[in-house]
Amino acid sequence: MAHITTSVEYGIHCLLWLSGSGEVSLSSRDLAELQGISPSFLAKIFPKLEKAGIVAASEGVRGGYRLAKPASEITFLDVVDAIEGEKPLFECQNIRTRCAVFDGDAPDWVCEGICGVHGVMLLAEKAMRDVLAKKSLADVGTAFMRKAPQSFGTDVGTWIDDRVKGRKPGRTPKNSGPPG
């Protein structure tokens, strides 16, 4: 697939949901079901976001995640780096020093400065990261909510309420019948 992975895609979409849910914590299972993605896979992503200080976790029943800071202060680059771990776009293998003419002992003028090819790749990487660093979750989140009708917010609210009630202790989930 691509260099910006599905993990990042999942992570950002989850964070957008969290940015709309205020102080309420949502569990990774809630977020997975809400978006039709794998709960177990999502559970692997959130600890990375927490270590990066993007979300705050609360354990136990009714626990889950909430944003650790305002959505306007979380950039796409923050999320990409948190999940993918600042992998470089290009890993220079210093081919220039291997020239057979040097016979294994490259002269100083060859090693001077960084490799020209590497330099171009670093410029390209920086340009990409600069764009990602300038876009926050709030930028995308508010644009989406402007398109959504009023009813959407309440629909989501009731969906979450129903889900929480459905698993409320005292009323066994078995009563609603397992799928299949």
Per CB under 8 A, residues contacting a copy of itself are: 1-4, 6, 8-10, 12-13, 16, 33-37, 76, 87-93, 95-96, 98-101, 109-110, 112, 116-117, 119-121, 123-125, 127-132, 135, 139-141, 143-144, 147-149, 152, 155-156, 159
For residues 15 and 111, what is the distance between their CA atoms, to the nearest angstrom? 44
Decide: helix, strand or coil at residue 151: helix
Q: Which does 143 bind (CB under 5 to 8 A by kind): DNA, a copy of itself, none?
A: a copy of itself
User: Euclidean distance between the first and final Cα of the chain, in Å?
Assistant: 33
The CA angle 76-80-86, to the nearest 5 degrees, is 130
Site string for DNA, 53-92 (x = CB under 7 A): ----xxxxxxxxx------------------x--x-----
Candidate residues 18, 20, 21, 28; the one interacting with DNA per rule CB under 7 A: 28
- For residues 46 and 44, give the distance between their C-alpha atoms in angstroms, rounded to a whole number: 6
